[in-house]
Amino acid sequence: MSRKFLGLDVRHDSISAVLVTSSLRDIHIEEFLQVPIPDAGGRDAGLRAALESIRASMEVDQASCIASIPADELSFRNLRVPFKGDRKIEQILPFEIEPTTPFPLEDLVLDFQTLPPTGHEGHTDLIAVAALKSTVESYLDIFSEVGFDPQTIIPGGYATAVCLSRFAAPPEDWILVDIGRYGDTLFFVKGGKIRLIRSYPTLSSENGGSALDAKIRQTLLAFENLSAQPIAPGHTFLTGAGLNGGGAQLQSALEKALDLPVSRVDLLQSASGKVKVDAEDAWHPGDMNNALAMTLAQIEGKNQLNFRRGPYAARRNWAAYRGLLIRLAAFAAVLFCLLGLDLFIEGHTLHRRVERIDREINTIFRSTFPEIQRIVDPVHQMKTAMDELRKETFIPGDANSRLLIIDILDEISRNIPGGIDVELTRMVVRQEDVLISGNTNTFNAVDDIQTHLEKSPMLQKVTINSTNKDQSENRVRFKMKVDL
């Protein structure tokens, strides 16, 4: 599932726009262009016309927008505050910055970026950035009129400094100079963290870059004295639209003046393994680096300065998520339909099984108890009938006995040897004994029956009550009592 991001790098004389699509596999640059800001009608009218041209030329709907404004319209300060935690710093920052700004605090929008600890317990070093509310309002009004709603507004060149450590593998300490046609911005980075931001009027074209070189050394020396830390940059990077036409001369001049290797940034080439573009021949790094860097920083979730704070905080851009929400809603609807279908099928199957089991129960009940015609609750009725049947099969008069008549018959049958010719003609089961009548072929057979029955653990004592010979049938009739 992919998302679209639009980076708008607003300068005094032009706007660079880069539209990228981000997916799990890669980042693809869909469109990019640079539009000059017309001079006629004032800068606001020119800016509006340039943004309208971008909107008409690019498929920016449903794209999350990030914008930068010229850094020379902002104020940067390095401060040390006696607090820890962003929330406390945010509360105390206006009072810390008030003595160093010529504007009333109520006219400013403030943001800050904390720096890594320097060993001062209970203190926090930070870069504070201030913008006039009127400046932020002016840009937001123009963006809104054209149909853009940037979720983030940052200083120009800042995103390139943030992303350069990620893609270009610079040394521990390095400098990035964003060269504009009307202003230059210096970023000093140490250990992958921006430690200093300063903006100057355009100096890069004066004396082949010597004025810019002097300003860079002066700024770094002042920062070294302020921070009480040695500063030894190992490389200088150049970017910005001001490099067009004079970049090689400026690069050579700065290499000699700073005694450092100087190279121009091409963020697309540095991130070639991750970022893809179709029309690479038309790509101009100086114009497009910052617009691309803003989208990459947003995709990777890097914390950035942002002037959309307080009353200017961006509302959630639901339009950018509309496609995602529609697909999610469609997936949820299909999922619920499948779940409902599964529950319906399962319920129908269970209902049919219950009906089949009920029919089997009724069939068994009718075959077992045919005399019962009215069936209401077959299970309960069967239990009741079985209880009645058990009562009938117990020994009469013995409520506590669990000895069944069929068990007594089985015990007698098993203990009379199969070789004895005997016929039992009558048996009366009472509470404590059993009376047996029958006939056999000899008197000795009667004694054998008595002997074998007395060996049973269920039968206690066997008494022969009478024996006599039936002359007509030549059989010996006997009666005996078996004590239980």
Please provide the average confidence, as pLDDT, over all residues in the chain. Answer: 86
Tell me what the mean pLDDT of segment 360-367 comes to. 84
Tell me what the mean pLDDT of segment 163-182 comes to. 87
pLDDT for res 318: 55
The proportion of the chain whose per-residue pLDDT surpasses 70, expressed as a percent, equals 92
What digits encode the pLDDT tens for the residues 386-435? Answer: 777 766 655 555 444 556 788 888 888 888 888 889 999 998 888 788 89
Indicate the pLDDT class of residue 74, thresholds 50, 70 and 90. Answer: very high
pLDDT for res 399: 44
3-state secondary structure at position 206: helix
Q: How far is CA 252 from CA 38, 158, 183, 248, 260, in A?
A: 32, 24, 20, 6, 10
Domains of the chain from N-terminus onward: 3-315 (3.30.420.380), 405-483 (3.30.1360.100)
pLDDT for res 112: 93
Tell me what the mean pLDDT of segment 433-450 comes to. 90
What type of residue is 378? P
pLDDT for res 322: 66
Q: Which residues contact 455 (CB under 8 A, 6 or more apart)?
A: 415
Q: How far apart are CA 295 and CA 5, in angstroms?
A: 6
464 beta partners: 480
pLDDT for res 400: 42
Nearest residue to 161 via CA among 137, 183, 143, 186: 186
Whether 268 and 290 have beta carbons less than 8 Å apart is answered as no
Indicate the pLDDT class of residue 323, thresholds 50, 70 and 90. Answer: low
Tell me what the mean pLDDT of segment 350-370 comes to. 86
Whether residue 181 has pLDDT greater than 70:
yes
Whether residue 272 has pLDDT greater than 90:
no
What digits encode the pLDDT tens for the residues 42-70? Answer: 889 999 999 999 999 999 888 899 999 99
Whether residue 317 has pLDDT greater than 80:
no
Tell me what the mean pLDDT of segment 156-177 comes to. 89
Whether residue 182 has pLDDT greater than 80:
yes
Whether 210 and 254 have beta carbons less than 8 Å apart is answered as no
376 φ, ψ to 5°? -110, -60
Token pair, residue 464, equals: 């022969």
Whether residue 205 has pLDDT greater than 90:
no
pLDDT for res 433: 87
Nearest residue to 114 via CA among 138, 89, 132, 137: 89
pTM score over 0.85? no
